[in-house]
């Protein structure tokens, strides 16, 4: 649209009366309207022509702004599987926090254990991932990501999961999101278990680094607004990764550094075929 047209009334009208999610910004001396749903393009073009011709009459009303908490839940309602992962992580945190060790031990991928459950399966006191898998306990490949140690650990990971997970879910759907999350979870958990045998570790951090790498590489190959993140985010997270490997915060808490690094690398790896396929399909759609 021309730069000299006041689109503010129209923008408010689209938000309030038609619930059209959009963004208006200036580019190369023009106003650009970006839509979340491209099928609404004809609708806004029709409204724009009527507005310019004076045929569109509307009354704008000032509405109360929803609270920040309400806005967060509204966003999450459009990303139910991201919300599900957050809920499961909160449950895992409560199990650890209240020392419900029977259930916590069922989520761990390796442990030193002499519980009745393990003795019934004839497992040794020092149980490796391979021993668990031999007894069909495949859920342990994933479930450590839901165990969190302390409020800071939980909140930090959930904020990143909220930010990155919903982008992937809203763009490609629940199956794609869960496939990426579980793939990274399995590999990062196995690498961490191999590097620190029998250590008690958990958390969503490896998956978070994987999603970060996925977004970065995907956006390099097939630029997409859904995966655009400020460069400062990558700098901060990579700096945190380096600090973790240097052990500068070991006096506060031990970090699952191998899970972080392996999650990041595998997230970058699986983004390549995904981005190439998406790029091919986008070009095919444009040709049609």
Whether residue 258 is contained in a domain is answered as yes
Distance (Å, whole) CA 201 – CA 29 = 53
Per-residue pLDDT of the chain (288 residues; tens, 9 = 90+): 888 888 888 888 888 888 888 989 888 888 999 898 888 898 889 988 988 888 887 665 666 666 666 666 777 778 999 999 999 999 999 999 999 998 999 999 998 766 667 677 776 677 889 989 998 999 999 999 999 999 999 999 999 999 999 999 999 999 999 999 999 999 999 999 999 988 899 999 999 999 999 999 999 999 887 888 989 899 999 999 998 888 776 656 678 899 999 999 999 999 999 999 988 887 777 666
Distance (Å, whole) CA 166 – CA 170 = 6
Place of tokens 């450590």: 144
Distance (Å, whole) CA 274 – CA 260 = 21
- The answer to whether residues 125 and 212 belong to one domain is yes
260, 262, 274, 278: the active-site residue: 260
- The answer to whether residues 40 and 141 belong to one domain is no
- The answer to whether residues 140 and 242 belong to one domain is yes
Whether residue 62 is contained in a domain is answered as no
| CA 287 to mean position of chain CA atoms | 31
**What's 264's DSSP letter?**
H
Q: How far is CA 285 from CA 11, 231, 288, in A?
A: 28, 30, 5
For residue 244 the two structure tokens come to: 């973790």
Whether residue 240 is contained in a domain is answered as yes
| CA 254 to mean position of chain CA atoms | 24
- The answer to whether residues 238 and 149 belong to one domain is yes
Range of the domain at 16: 8-52
- The answer to whether residues 26 and 115 belong to one domain is no
The CATH number of the domain holding residue 268 is 1.20.1540.10
CB 170 within 8 A of CB 240: no
Distance (Å, whole) CA 243 – CA 232 = 16
- The answer to whether residues 32 and 105 belong to one domain is no
Is-catalytic flag, 260? yes
Q: What is the pLDDT of residues 65-95, one digit of tens each?
A: 666 666 667 777 789 999 999 999 999 999 9
Half-sphere exposure of 167 (CA within 13 A, CB side): 19
- The answer to whether residues 12 and 81 belong to one domain is no
- The answer to whether residues 138 and 35 belong to one domain is no
Whether residue 210 is contained in a domain is answered as yes
Distance (Å, whole) CA 83 – CA 146 = 13
Is-catalytic flag, 205? yes
Question: How many domains does the structure of the chain reveal?
Answer: 2
Whether residue 2 is contained in a domain is answered as no
CB 167 within 8 A of CB 78: no
- The answer to whether residues 15 and 74 belong to one domain is no
- The answer to whether residues 75 and 204 belong to one domain is yes
**Helices assigned H by DSSP within the chain:** 8-17, 41-52, 68-77, 80-97, 101-107, 116-120, 129-134, 151-172, 174-195, 205-221, 231-246, 257-287
Whether residue 61 is contained in a domain is answered as no
Quote the radius of gyration of the chain (alpha carbons, Å). 24
Whether residue 145 is contained in a domain is answered as yes
89, 118, 188, 205: the active-site residue: 205
Distance (Å, whole) CA 56 – CA 48 = 9
Choose among 204, 198, 183: nearest CA to 84: 204
- The answer to whether residues 215 and 81 belong to one domain is yes
Whether residue 192 is contained in a domain is answered as yes
- The answer to whether residues 95 and 219 belong to one domain is yes
């Amino acid at each position: 649209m021309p730069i000299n047209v006041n689109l503010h009334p129209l923008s408010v009208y689209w938000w309030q009366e038609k619930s059209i999610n959009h963004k208006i910004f200036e580019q190369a001396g023009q106003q650009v309207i970006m839509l979340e749903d491209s099928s609404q393009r004809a609708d806004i073009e029709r409204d724009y022509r009527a507005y310019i011709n004076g045929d569109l009459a509307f009354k704008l009303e000032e509405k109360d702004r929803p609270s920040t908490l309400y806005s967060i839940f509204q966003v999450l309602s459009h990303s139910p599987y991201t919300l599900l992962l957050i809920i499961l992580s909160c449950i895992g945190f409560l199990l650890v926090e209240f020392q419900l060790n029977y259930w916590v031990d069922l989520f761990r991928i390796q442990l030193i254990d002499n519980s009745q459950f393990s003795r019934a399966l004839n497992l040794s006191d020092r149980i490796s991932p391979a021993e668990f898998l031999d007894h069909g306990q495949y859920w342990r490949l994933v479930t450590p990501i839901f165990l969190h140690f302390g409020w800071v650990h939980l909140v930090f990971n959930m904020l990143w999961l909220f930010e990155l997970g919903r982008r992937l879910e809203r763009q490609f759907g629940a199956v794609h999101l869960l496939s990426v999350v579980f793939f990274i979870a399995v590999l990062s958990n196995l690498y961490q278990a191999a590097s620190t045998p029998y250590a008690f570790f958990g958390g969503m951090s490896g998956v978070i680094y994987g999603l970060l790498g996925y977004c970065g590489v995907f956006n390099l190959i097939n630029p997409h607004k859904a995966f655009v993140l400020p460069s400062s985010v990558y700098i901060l997270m990579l700096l945190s990764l380096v600090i973790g490997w240097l052990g500068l915060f070991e006096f506060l808490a031990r970090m699952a550094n191998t899970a972080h690094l392996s999650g990041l690398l595998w997230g970058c790896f699986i983004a390549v075929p995904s981005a190439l396929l998406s790029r091919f399909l986008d070009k095919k759609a444009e040709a049609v």
